[in-house]
Amino acid sequence: MKKILSLTRRCVEDYDMIQAGDRVAVGVSGGKDSLTLLAALARLSRFYPQPFTVEAFTVDMGMAGMDFSGVEDFCKELGVPFHRIPTQISHVIFETRKEKNPCALCAKMRRGSLHQALVEQGIHKVALGHHYDDAVETFFLSLFYEGRLSCFQPVTYLDRSDVTQIRPLLYVSESMIRDAARRLDLPVVHNPCPADGYTKRQEVKELIVRLEGQYPKLKEYVFSAMQRLPLGDWGPRELKRRPPTEEVGE
């Protein structure tokens, strides 16, 4: 966890993600990524030179079998307030609309519910659990399926809701998160979504794994290129401070 905490702080500083006095909401889905992010930011808030506080927000999609009591207990251990947002997103998508490709609509509805809850709580900054591998996969998704060089931004201001999204795990690889989740015994909530594992993102993830057999530094080079192009707002404060191979590689 020490290495993840170091990379998280480095990313926060490189992209000036957190300012003194911020209330930072963490979007906690119950997956390993968001729980690791919550743990890292809760620890970082204890010694970061610009004081900030952390709160956890979970959008409950109304799926049978999803129990967030373990997440709530974990928040208590961290000393972080926990907010559960009840919704009927699952019912709308799978029963009412019977969506064949539900992921985009689901993400939009979850974001809407989360941002509404943040506005009601007077919070204007939310941290999302996208990591190093997510960024590279999104770059390839945009290239293959949209014909453009694009990716989500490290910091995004949403003027409609007056909410700023930050992604502090961009220097942390998925393998590091997976190891941390196992070592820390994080209360990961099983995702019963019928679309889980059958997405275009999963196809791209598997493609990258195959390509890495021939090009071992593929993800490192793609990530570096994203910072050096740079994509919109992807150039860090100090361009040389990119994730070294030994820290982010699989």
pLDDT of residue 97: 77
pLDDT of residue 197: 58
Kindly report, residue by residue over 111-168, the tens digit of the pLDDT.
999 999 999 999 999 999 999 999 999 999 999 999 999 999 999 999 988 999 999 9
pLDDT of residue 228: 86
67: pLDDT strictly greater than 60: yes
Kindly report, residue by residue over 172-229, the tens digit of the pLDDT.
999 999 999 999 999 999 877 766 656 788 899 999 999 999 999 999 999 999 998 7
Least confident of 85-94, 214-223, 236-245: 236-245
Q: How confident is the model at residue 106 (pLDDT cuts 50, 70, 90)?
A: confident
What is the rounded (10 degree) CA torsion for 93, 150, 16, 157?
-50
Looking at every residue in the chain, the average pLDDT score rounds to: 89
